[in-house]
Structure 1
């Protein structure tokens, strides 16, 4: 494929192309422009916008269903367009209401350039998938959300990737959770996402249930949680299509910033801060590209002025 053809691919098309390789797609959890810029600089092929991260960074609140659709869409659009060639998978929570709200959420995600999103079966006042006290809606309501997303995608002639997530493993058990995911695939979901897997047996059963079906499986590797821990290499062996690391930026930010602030409070400057010049950070955030564009505009203006004289 030529560079031109690659650039012509839609966000969803680029994500589908990555999934078609059969390799596990490792996606770091980003939540603002700075974390996204750092992940892009390191060279990840796909990013994941974590709802928990957006909730904490944008409104300073825990992930218990308080962040709004507007805040999620605005953040997703900003991240997705820093480098449109790198697809972004975004958390869409419950869709933020009824099936009508789901349709609007999907419509807006398509518009701002999101490549894929996951939609879950918790009640609207949801909680982080790794907290206790979760509640799930009935199967028909869950499927109505997936169906609304699929119909919106068809109406918009989009290829955005729809990821069906279920949190029912904790509330209804493994058999019901797998049944829900299979039913979601029947109504048009592209990828399945079993949240909060805690044992090797659960993971193996989940992967076996969809092996050879053409449906990609997603694993959410939440660092510090009670979830079953596997490495990227093991994810490949299980045949997982996507592996999310939602806390990959949150945890270092929390530990690093807290440590630096505690030292500053005691009157001690953080030594590592002296080793990073402001220009280095500006470059991560696109300073070189901006200066190149600025230089190009200035060169054009000088040439135009000379030709006009």
Structure 2
């Protein structure tokens, strides 16, 4: 399936200095984030939490993530969608199948990491890495399988020389962009940018190892894409905790001055219009 020009990240990067991707955890959060940003990130952390109620340590089934992306694409036909596919769900053949499926339903890109199982969030300690040559086999196959899909190669290495070696190797075989997860100092970005002729991706996550940075700071450092992994998930957790406490403190009396049926229903009907527009456009 040819990716429409409006969803092609390679074309977008020719015209934009930096693209922020907002991490979403379900279709509802995606539809809200889409009102403010034109690029969404399907976060493995957020999906594991929302779909299974479990931590991001390898529970995600590839069929679940593909179905989720399809639902998001149905109501948001014009947004960029970047998908976290972890390690490609272990096996190289599975990784290639997932990439084909995601491209066929309109994903804009994927992030493939070099962790091995048991995997974990990139901002936690104790990560295990595949050997570089082992990961390159998988990466090459994925790149050979995709047609126009944008492929980000992610390394979870922490040693500066290992980071550089892996980034150069992944770039050399054709990855479209490089993500070094868990960077602790923004000063690491400029020399990395100088060493590889590929766009760099920076992962922002509240409470993570990387320092919080503005888009301008990241652009000046040499970053081209920024994925905000979990802002919607963490905002939802905070809001639900607050409202449940209020409901209990008020003896079950609902707070009237917040979102209610009219506001939510308007938003949901807008999603329906977007879905119907896509269906009619595809006919």
Could you state the TM-score of these two structures normalised by the residue count of structure 1? 0.83
Secondary structure of 2:207 counterpart: coil
Separation in structure 2 between the aligned mates of residue 182 and residue 292 of structure 1, nearest angstrom: 41
Separation in structure 2 between the aligned mates of residue 168 and residue 115 of structure 1, nearest angstrom: 26
2:242 alignment counterpart? 259
User: Of residues 193, 205, 209 in structure 2, which corresponds to 1:207?
Assistant: 193
Asked if residue 35 in structure 1 is aligned to residue 29 in structure 2, the reply is yes
Name segments (4+ residues, structure 1) moved above 3 Å: 268-271, 286-294
- Tell me how far 1:209 sits from its aligned partner: 2.6
- Tell me how far 1:22 sits from its aligned partner: 3.8
1:193 alignment counterpart? 179
- Tell me how far 1:144 sits from its aligned partner: 1.2
- Tell me how far 1:237 sits from its aligned partner: 1.2
Mark the runs of 5 or more structure 2 residues left unpaired by the alignment: 278-283
Asked if residue 161 in structure 1 is aligned to residue 150 in structure 2, the reply is yes
2:143 alignment counterpart? 150
Could you say if the C-alpha distance between residues 205 and 94 of structure 1 is closer, same or farther in structure 2, counting changes exceeding 3 Å? same
Separation in structure 1 between the aligned mates of residue 66 and residue 208 of structure 2, nearest angstrom: 27
Could you state the TM-score of these two structures normalised by the residue count of structure 2? 0.90
Could you say if the C-alpha distance between residues 230 and 69 of structure 1 is closer, same or farther in structure 2, counting changes exceeding 3 Å? same
Higher radius of gyration, 1 or 2:
1
User: Of residues 229, 232, 236 in structure 2, which corresponds to 1:246?
Assistant: 229
Separation in structure 1 between the aligned mates of residue 273 and residue 105 of structure 2, nearest angstrom: 22
- Tell me how far 1:225 sits from its aligned partner: 1.5
- Over aligned residues, Cα RMSD in angstroms? 2.4
- Tell me how far 1:168 sits from its aligned partner: 1.2
2:93 alignment counterpart? 100
Asked if residue 279 in structure 1 is aligned to residue 256 in structure 2, the reply is no
User: Of residues 121, 125, 129 in structure 1, which corresponds to 2:118?
Assistant: 125
- State the Cα deviation string for residues 64-103 of structure 1 (Å, max 9, x = none): 1111111111111211222221110000100012211211
Separation in structure 2 between the aligned mates of residue 46 and residue 103 of structure 1, nearest angstrom: 24
Could you say if the C-alpha distance between residues 270 and 129 of structure 1 is closer, same or farther in structure 2, counting changes exceeding 3 Å? farther
Separation in structure 2 between the aligned mates of residue 269 and residue 216 of structure 1, nearest angstrom: 52
- Tell me how far 1:284 sits from its aligned partner: 2.0
- State the Cα deviation string for residues 217-253 of structure 1 (Å, max 9, x = none): 1000111212122111111212211011112101110
- State the Cα deviation string for residues 151-194 of structure 1 (Å, max 9, x = none): 111xxxx200000000012xxx1111121121112212101000
- Tell me how far 1:111 sits from its aligned partner: 1.7
